[in-house]
Amino acid sequence: MLILTDGEKRMLDGRDGKARRKAMQLLVRYAEALGAERFVDTRNVAGVPGSANPFLQNYYKDKSRDGLDAIFSHFDLDSDELVDVPPALVPTFHLQGGADPTAWQTLGVKVDVFRNHQEREAFAAQHDVGILKTCTPYLAGNVPAKGEHLAWMESSAVIYANSVLGARTNTEGRESTSAAMLTGKIPDWGLHRTEHRFGTHRIDVELDVSSVMDWGMLGYFVGDMVQERIPVLQGRFTRPDIVRLKHFGAAASSSGGVEMYHIVGVTPEAETLETAFGPKHPLEVFQYGRDEQRRVYDRLNTTGVDAAVDFVMLGCPHAAIEQLREAAQLLDGKKVSGNCHLWIFTSRAVKSQAHDEGITKTLGDAGAVLLTDTCSAFAQAVPPGTKVVALDSAKQAHYLPAILGVQAWFGTTRDCINAAVTGRWSADPPWQ
């Protein structure tokens, strides 16, 4: 049974305005659906408030004179009544969305659609929402502290915040983050509670997992095995850095619904195997060896048939500065093939740093395009006529063929850049 504080009751009664009342009503319906008993306060919300795809834009076009308040009222807050939207009550950030503000035409975005993106960005900014426009807020200025309660969307950011940073958030959705933005409340359920953060499954890594690609494949395997449970990894691996952890988590939250993992001796709630499991015992133990790696590799390359590659996309999740440096080194003095395009996605924050370091120029001289705000899967944008893509992200290889019906090859960043330069996929599996 859900118990409300006086402050929560005041919002629900409408004494803090109509919009907060609608937000609280939605959060109560959501908490009751979960079976939560209370709310937890949050001062760190990451969502996509007020954003809209063409379907929603069109659906709400005639609902009121102010389409943006209508989208926020009816869709974000699931309210039948139109309300005036006040500014964010607690610090709130906008994740990826829209189109690159300078290179939107490259993404094939029409001018009227771009204007809509700009209007929605202005709406968010006017409501005190920080414009990060990235799936990697933790690389762009929003780095939560250990134990901090968040209301975050974006599965790859949620898994990073819980596992690597020790912050606490469930995978929130569009509606729950927008409601949290106006109330500073989110159901105290799941990963907000210590007893639900312990490991459930053990993964014995029997293979030296070291490259970014290795960690992506391991993440894809783990997600498939444990679905939405909490895996604890131990065994033979080279200590992972930020880029590897980012790639691992994104893969695990795509093939399954993993929102938290432990790596013994690496992540903050897993100093030892015993602390990672707490009072629990593993429900199952899975081995990850050569055979498992082969199966993952084959699955990620299921759709890859033709060697002629039209398009290479890097930066899923959005590239860290280290990844842009690596791409620039691999491309230095080379040119992207006339039969191929190379797009690299990152955050506005990292792009700004890349510009100052001269990386953007090196990439541009080679014919690569550095883009922000979105990615090919999210924007459903690839160069015209694209049939075969090369990707270094297990997450993108999971989504892009399903979304756009293209063939996908999955390999290392170096394999992908070779494909961009030669126009052909010629990478061997990692065990050859």
Partner 1 sequence: MAVTATIVLRGRKVVGGRAEGEALVTRQTIPGWGGVNPVQGVITETQHELRGVSFKDKVLVCRGAKGSSGWSAMYHTARLAGTAPRALVFNEMTTKIALGAVVMRIPSVTDFDRDPLDIIDTGDWVIVDGDRGLVEVVKRTATQI
Binding site for partner 1 (CB under 8 A): 26, 29-30, 33-35, 53, 55-56, 59, 75, 78, 152-155, 158, 170-176, 187, 189-190, 227-228, 253-254, 256-257, 299, 302-303, 377, 398-399, 401-403
d(CA 364, CA 362): 5
**Shortest Å, Cβ 394 to partner 1:** 13
DSSP 94-124: E-S-S--TTTTTTTT--HHHHHHHHHHHHHH
**Shortest Å, Cβ 132 to partner 1:** 15
**Shortest Å, Cβ 348 to partner 1:** 21
Nearer to partner 1, 246 or 351 (CB): 246
Tokens of residue 173, six digits: 């959705």
**Shortest Å, Cβ 33 to partner 1:** 4
Q: CB–CB of 309/371 below 8 Å?
A: no
Q: CB–CB of 428/344 below 8 Å?
A: no
- Give the residue among 410, 173, 143, 153 at the shortest CA–CA distance from 303: 410
**Shortest Å, Cβ 60 to partner 1:** 9
Nearer to partner 1, 182 or 359 (CB): 182
What is the DSSP pairing of strand 185-187 with strand 39-41? Answer: antiparallel
**Shortest Å, Cβ 31 to partner 1:** 9
| Backbone torsions φ then ψ of 88, nearest 5 degrees | -60, 140
Q: CB–CB of 131/124 below 8 Å?
A: yes
Tokens of residue 202, six digits: 């053990």
Nearer to partner 1, 44 or 155 (CB): 155
- At 152 the three-state DSSP class reads strand
DSSP 260-329: --EETTTSTT-SSHHHHHTT---SEEEEE-HHHHHHHHHHHTTT---SB--EEEEEEEEE-HHHHHHHHH
Nearer to partner 1, 91 or 257 (CB): 257
Q: CB–CB of 101/120 below 8 Å?
A: no
Nearer to partner 1, 56 or 273 (CB): 56
**Shortest Å, Cβ 360 to partner 1:** 29
Nearer to partner 1, 59 or 114 (CB): 59
Nearer to partner 1, 42 or 176 (CB): 176
Nearer to partner 1, 7 or 257 (CB): 257
d(CA 169, CA 400): 27
**Shortest Å, Cβ 308 to partner 1:** 21
The residue ranges of DSSP E strands in 108-223, in sequence order, are 129-131, 151-152, 185-187, 201-209
Nearer to partner 1, 155 or 374 (CB): 155
**Shortest Å, Cβ 393 to partner 1:** 13
DSSP 396-428: HHHHHHHHH--EEEE--HHHHHHHHHHSB--PP
